[in-house]
Amino acid sequence: MPLSGRYIGAYSDRMITDDPTLTNPDHYRTLWENDFVRVLEYTDEPGDQTTPHDHPNSVMVTLSDFSRRLSAGDRVFDTALTSGQAVWLPAQRHSGQNTGTTPTHSILIELKGDAAGEQDSAVLGPSV
């Protein structure tokens, strides 16, 4: 498989991941990265959608109020978060849609190495 939307071992020797900065570059950008974490900025507008992508264990800090629907297969998770919240995002694969009336702006601090965790297909969305 070409590496153009996938990378191997960046977060864990066990993971093969669809990198959101490659699969959804209009929404995700890397702000900073080292051997332990990668810091992403995420932005979108009401109605915008992302294609399926993966996240390692992460902390998300919201910079705006927003409503979002996350989907994985036949599972759906609706959430509304307020500006200034910090939430845990367990390792997971999902796609998303801004279902609200405001733009989304958030920062994700993705963990690397063993701390990146393993995806659990039962997990969807943040833990608040």
pLDDT digits (tens, 9 = 90+) for 79-118: 999 999 999 999 999 999 999 999 999 999 999 999 999 9
- Residues 40-79 pLDDT 10s: 999 999 999 999 999 999 999 999 999 999 999 999 999 9
Residue 5 and residue 2: Cα distance in Å, rounded? 8
Q: Give the residue ranges of DSSP H helices in 1-128.
A: 20-23
User: What are the φ and ψ backbone dihedral angles of 2, each rounded to 5 degrees?
Assistant: -65, 155
Q: Where are the domains of the chain?
A: 6-114
pTM for this predicted structure: 0.87
Question: Cα dist. 31→13, 21, 85, 108 in Å?
Answer: 23, 11, 19, 10
Reported as a single tens digit per residue, the pLDDT across 111-127 is: 999 999 999 989 999 99
Superfamily of chain region 6-114:
Jelly Rolls (2.60.120.10)
Tell me what the pLDDT averaged over the chain comes to. 90
